[in-house]
Structure 1
């Protein structure tokens, strides 16, 4: 459910492409538009399903393959890879059209899933998941570009609504399906079945690509080329730095310390180039909104990664039962999103930016109580139900705030910043939680789980402060 808001952001980031009317020849072939809708929604649904399904089955994976110290790395590798791929795909699609990025994305997404599904060790599974994440990053952006170039303007809102639903539905059914498959057959099928469905959807989409209008762009000026190169280098450096921190968290030795220091140095250089000025200092308004999104994602994804592991390994739940907890949070996330959509007025919407993170923090701390000796699992169920509602209240509200406070000509930039902050926050949150977990899990007991969940709750508390500073735009 962590990416549920991304369709709205991506729709905005398509900028002028989404605003263009499709060519007359496409408008006269409604079946092309219908097939594009079916194929693209299917691809997005499969990518969203895989993200949620893996969170459900990872406790079973680690029971089979071992490598508990690499648990957070396997969970975070696709996030770090996707940071790089999103920037690459945007530049690729702008320069040469969406075909190449889409084809490479589908092939890498499938190859990574197959590698993960056949992996004999947790290390190789993490590598496969990194390839999968890179492929997912390459294939998402072109789908939005295709809508802008092929779909009549009057029908584009329907596409974006369907894209949003493509993220919601897997959150409702994905964990239960994945848990059932893992319990009844093998966790490997959660990885191996999706490439077949992905390639089937792509075979429907592939013939439609001949209808994509040719790219008619003049050669960009020198300053535009320099900006593109700077963004690509910064995104690549940020992704590699996040990956280094994740690996460092799994290695308590000298190599881990060196990797950690290198990762921190890389972030110090690259992150300021990707986020709005003042984001790290929590400047009032949009910069704080971007920072708040990163903190929220760091908290939610970290807790959502370790909570199923706690329920399966400590409380002896099945993968399917643990997945149902994630499904409940998806339902409350959707309910919270619906509620915030009915809140009007700057003052009332400003309250959402404090209340949402506060509910996420409270819910995470309540869920963490399930890691205390002798505690019942109801703490996890109740806590994560509350946490999902908090995310639903604040996550889309931050998107609305950022877009409304930014000139239309800069919507693409601010949307990109929100997505980068989401991915970076999740990757770094997992790196920190993974380091704590790895350091403490070997001591026995449930200290590693408790530390990871308390860290996630603490990050959510920081998001309360960031949300309050973002809310100054609402009052203004």
Structure 2
């Protein structure tokens, strides 16, 4: 195990008051909300943006630039958080996001808007990763899961309701407010973070795979540029397009070579030896491809073809959202109860294919309820396929690779979204150009009229009809050609192996946030701790036999002395020394409240005073070690379904159990007279 993998936090944040924890959580939610929202908020505004700025051929890049930059920043932000502190990276990401939002709102050309969106994406990637990691830093162990799940759900909800909010801004203010609205929120977020979030860094600074990240960024960007420019800016057989594709191949091959050699790769190639990781990564790419591609171009269909406002186009995509969340929750519940998951990506990709095909038949005469049914079907399919992919991967890889594997699946979904938006855009632009030219000649109207949904609706029906048909034909063509992608996903899903779910993975499956969120930390120890705590959360509070633990340890200690010894041992490990005042300050109580506990322990020969510092006697050391060993043994019995024969996995497991046992002494076994933390 490498030094970075074995790293444990060098400084544990002081216990925080409940009010401060809630303020921090609210601040982190703001960061996640903005980052997730801006991936889709512009979709309903795109027709109006094109009408104002022109550049319809570059429309896809308004979304794609954001997603590619976000994927790159996601790979960097976790490591930078370990290097420089997550609080600093969170604030810096917020500042970058503000800069991108201001430039985007002020942009008077499509090129500048795309650059601004890339800047926004860099900030968004940092916000998402550090938001999840900050929860792990500041929330008490026993409560962490519910906060992380809520944060993941926020990410999911804001991603899919973005089009409606974008429509509201576009219709009632300006499309520029889709970006300006971020500025005051982000400023408040940064200021509150400066006052409330503690500074935590890792003891061992991680190695950052800069070369690997640069190569994957170059390869993906060249591929997307080739797809975007092919047939529009340059002929498919031109030197530019062939050169871009060749550069992409070279960069991606070099990326694989680098990942096979570096000590801490961004995406370890050994993960692809796992059938589950490989298949789930491909399916995540396809799900992202279909979801963001459809959500980007559905509003264009609704505004140009159906003649609805930007707000209404966002509202009318809600059946897709309803379907997605319904089957996400349903599939998670069923997987959590049965432990079987292979059926869901098979059924999901099949239903996605049906939904995309049905949507390719829509035109101006398609009724509201019928188009809603088609969107609902597509959403049902996406929800069935998406929720279980992350869970399946987390269940199948070694715990030493858990954070990296989760990041990998998230990365492939984000890149799939970027490719989906680009491919949808290329198909749309290549098809729309000739159709729209013919329609404009027939209608005898200038191109500017056709680019703006509002002016198009104002035309007489006989003039508007050929233009509307051009848009309908082009968007139907897009959905029809994406059907084979979903069919490919259906065929690939049959290759997925079904591995019996661990108890911790069953708990994750029931939490819709897990299907959306990026991992809270790439550190395998943190991931294993979180998995163990999920198992413990399934038990009733009184299922943790605190008095039984003391009896199993053969200890004559009461809960008060066991807590006191645990406090001294924990402080000695982390800081080397501790006083009664230090412990009282940690738990936000006056020293007079805890002094009797330590005086009793001193009379019983368990602790001694070294000046003002507390120290364990030999007897006290034996007692606390026995209690911690009893906790560890009890936890091992609860987690008996795990395969711990691999020496590296066993070492990681023992490290996590020791850490949790120490925290349980801190959080669970304090005397009843002491108030809970906060």
Q: How does the TM-score come out when normalised to structure 1?
A: 0.86
Residues 244/267 of structure 1: CA separation in 2 closer, same or farther (3 Å cut): farther
Of structures 1 and 2, the larger Rg is shown by 2
Residues 161/261 of structure 1: CA separation in 2 closer, same or farther (3 Å cut): same
In 1, the alpha carbon distance for the partners of 2:160 and 2:419 equals 26
Q: Which residue of 2 aligns with 1:364?
A: 356
In structure 1, runs of 5+ residues without a counterpart are 1-14
Q: Which residue of 1 aligns with 2:484?
A: 458
Deviations 1:379-429 (A, max 9, x none): 542222111111111211111111111222211121011011111111222
- Listed as ranges, the matches of 1:84-123 within 5 Å are 84-123=72-111
- TM-superposed CA distance for 1:100, in Å, is 3.4
- TM-superposed CA distance for 1:368, in Å, is 1.6
Q: Which residue of 2 aligns with 1:241?
A: 222
In 2, the alpha carbon distance for the partners of 1:63 and 1:419 equals 34
Residues 427/245 of structure 1: CA separation in 2 closer, same or farther (3 Å cut): farther
Secondary structure in 2 aligned to 1:55? coil
In 1, the alpha carbon distance for the partners of 2:76 and 2:330 equals 36
- TM-superposed CA distance for 1:24, in Å, is 6.2
- TM-superposed CA distance for 1:110, in Å, is 1.4
1:293 aligns with 2:296: no
Q: Which residue of 2 aligns with 1:262?
A: 247
The question of whether the paired residues in 2 share the 8 Å contact of 1:370 and 1:377 is answered with no
The question of whether the paired residues in 2 share the 8 Å contact of 1:359 and 1:389 is answered with yes
Q: Which residue of 1 aligns with 2:625?
A: none
In 2, the alpha carbon distance for the partners of 1:237 and 1:88 equals 15
- Listed as ranges, the matches of 1:402-417 within 5 Å are 402-417=393-408
Q: Which residue of 2 aligns with 1:177?
A: 165
Residues 467/21 of structure 1: CA separation in 2 closer, same or farther (3 Å cut): farther
Q: Which residue of 2 aligns with 1:3?
A: none
The question of whether the paired residues in 2 share the 8 Å contact of 1:86 and 1:141 is answered with yes
Residues 347-356 or 85-94, more deviating: 347-356
In 2, the alpha carbon distance for the partners of 1:78 and 1:174 equals 14
1:312 aligns with 2:298: no
Secondary structure in 2 aligned to 1:285? helix
In 1, the alpha carbon distance for the partners of 2:143 and 2:326 equals 26
Secondary structure in 2 aligned to 1:298? helix
Secondary structure in 2 aligned to 1:427? helix
Q: Which residue of 1 aligns with 2:462?
A: none
The question of whether the paired residues in 1 share the 8 Å contact of 2:41 and 2:163 is answered with yes
Q: Which residue of 1 aligns with 2:413?
A: 422
In structure 2, runs of 5+ residues without a counterpart are 260-265, 436-469, 503-678
Residues 149/112 of structure 1: CA separation in 2 closer, same or farther (3 Å cut): same
Q: Which residue of 2 aligns with 1:192?
A: 180
- TM-superposed CA distance for 1:262, in Å, is 2.9
- Listed as ranges, the matches of 1:20-59 within 5 Å are 23=12, 25=14, 27-59=15-47
In 2, the alpha carbon distance for the partners of 1:193 and 1:61 equals 17
Q: Which residue of 1 aligns with 2:209?
A: 228
In 2, the alpha carbon distance for the partners of 1:126 and 1:198 equals 20
Residues 215/228 of structure 1: CA separation in 2 closer, same or farther (3 Å cut): same
1:213 aligns with 2:200: yes
The question of whether the paired residues in 1 share the 8 Å contact of 2:86 and 2:130 is answered with yes
1:136 aligns with 2:128: no
Deviations 1:86-123 (A, max 9, x none): 11212211222213322221111111122111111222
The question of whether the paired residues in 2 share the 8 Å contact of 1:86 and 1:137 is answered with yes
- TM-superposed CA distance for 1:246, in Å, is 5.2
- Listed as ranges, the matches of 1:144-183 within 5 Å are 144-171=132-159, 173-183=161-171
1:469 aligns with 2:495: yes
Equivalent position to 2:312, from 315, 321, 331: 321
Residues 428/176 of structure 1: CA separation in 2 closer, same or farther (3 Å cut): closer
In 2, the alpha carbon distance for the partners of 1:278 and 1:91 equals 20
Q: Which residue of 2 aligns with 1:204?
A: 192
Deviations 1:217-272 (A, max 9, x none): 2x66xxxx4x7234333443344335533542452344445334433543454378
Q: How does the TM-score come out when normalised to structure 2?
A: 0.61
- TM-superposed CA distance for 1:360, in Å, is 1.3
Q: Larger relative CO (CA 8 A, sep 6+): 1 or 2?
A: 1
Residues 111-120 or 171-180, more deviating: 171-180
The question of whether the paired residues in 2 share the 8 Å contact of 1:362 and 1:387 is answered with yes
Structure with greater helix share of residues: 1
